[in-house]
Structures are given as C-alpha cells and as structure tokens.
Amino acid sequence: MNYREYLSITPEVEKALSEGKPVVALESTILSHGMPYPENIEFAHKVEKIIRDEGAVPATLAIIAGKLKVGLNDEELELMCHGENIAKASRRDVAVYLANGQTAATTVATTMLIADMAGIRVFATGGIGGVHRGAQETMDISADLQEFANTAVCVVSAGCKSILDIGLTLEYLETYGVPVLGYQTKDFPAFYSETSGFGVDYEVKDAAEVAKILKTKWDLGLKGGVLVGNPIPHEYSMDHEVIDKVIDQALEMAKEKKIHGKATTPFLLATIKDLTGGDSLASNLQLAYNNARVASKIAVEFAKL
C-alpha cells in the first residue's frame, strides 16, 4: 500500500517509532468539537505532559491540509483547538478530505486507522462511540465499532459514552470478536460513572498483563483491536441514576431539535454540561487524564515485549 505519502509524522514521533519506544495516540475531535477554547488547548498540553511523565511519547492525530498528521506542533494544536472550519472525520470521510486538501479532527475510528498506518498500537481517548439508544429504529451505530473489529490498536477509554445503549454496544463488540478488558475492574465503566451495570469480558490487574494480551493476540494474527475499560477515578465519578436522567433530558431536546448523525454527540455533551452546571466537563477532563496515564503504562510495557 502506498499510504506513506499521505502520512506526515513529526521527527520526535518518527524517531520513537523507529527505535521501538512507547508512543500513545490521541484524537483531535475532543479538541475541535468537544471543548471550548482555551480550555481545550490547556487540556491538550496537560495530556501530552502526562504521557511524557509516564515515559511515552504523545502523538495527537489530525487531518490538516490533506495530510494525515501524526503528532502536532504548537501551531497545529492551536489550529485544531480554535476549531474554525474544522470538519469531523470518520473512516468514510478520510479519502474525500485528503483528496480535497481539507482539515478535519479525527474521531476514535479515524484515530485508530491513522495510528495503525503509522505503527502506533496504543491510543488513549475519553469514551468510544457505540450503538445509540433507539438504534433498532434509527440504525445509528458508530463507525468506531467496525474499526475495533478490523484495526490492530488498543484503545483505553472510560467505557463508552453514557448517552449510548451500553448493553447493545457490548453485544456488538462480542459479535465481532473484540476483547473488552476491565482495568482493575470487573464492571464496564459508563464514562461519567465508574460502573454501568454491565460486566467486562476479563479483568486485568495491570499494564503488563494488558501488553501481554495484545502481543499474544497480534502474534496469532487475530485481526482487530482491544478495548480497555478504565473507570473514571472514584472522586470524580457521577451518580449513575442522576446522570441517566440528565441524558434522557438531553436526548429529548435533541429529538425536538431534529439533531442526528455527526451532530448528535457534540450536542448531547454540550447540553449535558449545561444541565449539570459544568460538573460533566470536569469529570470528562479527569477521566481523559486517567486514560492517558493508563495508556502510557500499557505502551511502555508493550514496548518491552
């Protein structure tokens, strides 16, 4: 495949990859579509620092002027955080945006895709997409799930976004043979909350165990990724029943405004933030920092193998 001509990798990330050092991928949708400026630029720098402090190299991914960017400099981070005329790219959009020289933020699916092309095996995000509530009628299922089925990247997240149908999301992942690991937990986390009422496939005790599972899976030639559910730290966890009521209210508002497709998640997250008086954003930040720490530990252990 001749995709290398479309990749633009920073010297730091390129050097780390060539030397077999740990690298952690980060998405850019959270910067362009998930947080206001300047909170997002502060968040971006803090996440990258957390990863460096754990001994890994951060690589924030994006599509800029028709290039798949692996690692962003300060100017590029500013561009993505200001979010002006920046699209949101899932797998179906990548070829169009590259061919037209566009700029776009990467979703979980696109970040996995580009990370795999670059040879990055570990990715930290907030929460993955999944099967939306009411998908039996709407068929609204995130492309993230198909990416897990096909792309060899380990994704560390605080479960899936609690605006989704968590049970159906886990069923979908099982159908496609995607291992769902609980990082020091038997419960699948629900983004803002530590637990969702659903279990994981396997509980893992530490980063070294995750790294061993990754190596074994890919040594066997088993395609696809691995989802590591890493619960939000206890002190930032929100009451499951309370956040569920807020989500139901936000979903009703989305229905009234006829919001669907790509616009759904940004609208719901912004509405939930308003309805919780900003508490949900604070939780969102802390779970993302926690995921970056755990992903870095896994990347460090995986690099040893």
Residue scoring higher pLDDT (212 or 261): 212
Q: What is the pLDDT of residue 35?
A: 84
CA 247/CA 234 separation, integer angstroms: 20
Output the pLDDT for position 235.
Answer: 93
Beta bridge partners of 265: none
Element (H, E) at 81: helix 74-82
Among the residue ranges 51-55, 82-86, 220-224, 297-301, the one predicted with the least confidence is 82-86
**Mean pLDDT, rounded, for 144-157:** 98
Give the residue-averaged pLDDT of 10-32: 97
The whole-angstrom distance between residue 29's C-alpha and the CA centroid of its chain comes to 9
CATH architecture of the domain with residue range 3-304: 3-Layer(aba) Sandwich (3.40)
Average the pLDDT over 166-179 and give the result: 97
Residue 60: pLDDT above 90? yes
The stretch 194-223 carries a mean pLDDT of 97
CB within 8 Å of 54: residues ≥ 6 apart = 292, 293, 296, 297, 300
Q: What's 184's DSSP letter?
A: T
Examine the pLDDT at 76 and tell me if it is beyond 90: yes
Question: pTM higher than 0.85 for the full model?
Answer: yes
Residue positions annotated with a catalytic role? 27, 161
Q: What is the pLDDT of residue 141?
A: 92
H/E segment holding residue 229: strand 226-229
User: What pLDDT is recorded for position 168?
Assistant: 96
The stretch 122-136 carries a mean pLDDT of 92
Tell me if residue 205 falls in helix, strand or coil.
coil
Band of pLDDT at residue 262, cut at 50, 70 and 90: low
Among 26-35, 40-49, 126-135, 267-276, the range scoring the smallest mean pLDDT is 267-276
Q: Give, for 25, the enclosing helix (H) or strand (E).
A: strand 23-26
* Domain spans, the chain: 3-304
Mean predicted lDDT score pLDDT of the chain: 93
Per the model's pLDDT, the better-predicted residue between 201 and 238 turns out to be 201
Helix/strand/coil (H, E, C) string of 235-296?
Answer: HHCCCHHHHHHHHHHHHHHHHHCCCCHHHHHHHHHHHHHHHCCCHHHHHHHHHHHHHHHHHH
CA distance 19 to 303: 10
State pLDDT tens for residues 229-261.
Answer: 999 999 999 887 788 888 889 888 988 998 877
Confidence check: pLDDT of 32 > 70: yes
Q: Is the pLDDT of residue 281 over 90?
A: no
244 or 145, greater pLDDT: 145
Q: What whole-number distance in Å separates Cα of residue 234 and Cα of residue 243?
A: 15
Pairing status of strand 67-70 against strand 57-64 = antiparallel
